Chain A
Amino acid sequence: EDKVVQSPLSLVVHEGDTVTLNCSYEVTNFRSLLWYKQEKKAPTFLFMLTSSGIEKKSGRLSSILDKKELFSILNITATQTGDSAIYLCAVRFSNSGYALNFGKGTSLLVTP
């Protein structure tokens, strides 16, 4: 059974710290991996990764995919209190059609 595992499940850091969130997956036919940020509302899209070793970057956030080792990381540098959210990883497999398989999420709290 295909599945997506995120770690850690929760994390508390101080403003200015750098954090790394992990997402590993077991797959039959990988198509793409997506990261979302969820505050007290709907998930909002951050990155989509399809190729190994190519870093996607947006401001202080960056993400990279390792298709050989079946994982992705999401880095956030110089964290701010506004980064506090649940970060969701989702993977699209060939046998799931267009459906996204979500991990349980990492809850990040950034304290002042």
Chain B
Amino acid sequence: NAGVTQTPKFQVLKTGQSMTLQCAQDMNHEYMSWYRQDPGMGLRLIHYSVGAGITDQGEVPNGYNVSRSTTEDFPLRLLSAAPSQTSVYFCASSYLTGVIEQYFGPGTRLTVT
């Protein structure tokens, strides 16, 4: 089991560029989510999904898009990067029933200049 994987680990973008952060899990989890972590701010929810074809916004969705075409993958797209999106991004997944602790990926450190 690879668990939750994220690519890339590090990325530097210029303002206005677009990119996709990849997230995949091999645990057959229905629920997947994206968080960003900024110093002193804890983890804030960007978008989440409860199954293939279903996505919804979290606390800080502006500037980000997601899609969920398969159970395994949940990519996060930055449409036009801004310096305010400099952050560490974590993907997490869990079951919807039973023990629903969330498992986190290793994170992507993004810098927008």
Contact = CB atoms under 8 A, between A and B. Distances in A.
Given A45-B103, A48-B101, A102 B42 contact: yes
B45 A99 contact: yes
Q: Using C-beta atoms within 8 Å of the partner chain, give the interface range for chain B.
A: 20 to 34
A105 B106 CA distance: 18
Contacts of A43: 43, 90, 104
Q: Using C-beta atoms within 8 Å of the partner chain, give the interface range for chain A.
A: 20 to 34
B33 interface: yes
A97 B90 contact: no
Interface in A96-112: 97-105
A48 B98 CA distance: 12
A99 B33 contact: yes
B50 A42 contact: no
A99 B42 contact: no
Given A42-B90, A105-B42, A98 B107 contact: no
Nearest to B56: A97
A98 B90 contact: no
A64 interface: no
A41 interface: yes
A41 B107 contact: yes
B28 to A, nearest CB: 15
B113 to A, nearest CB: 23
Given A42-B90, A98-B94, A102-B44, 9 more contacts: A34-B102, A41-B106, A41-B107, A42-B105, A43-B104, A45-B103, A48-B99, A97-B50, A99-B45
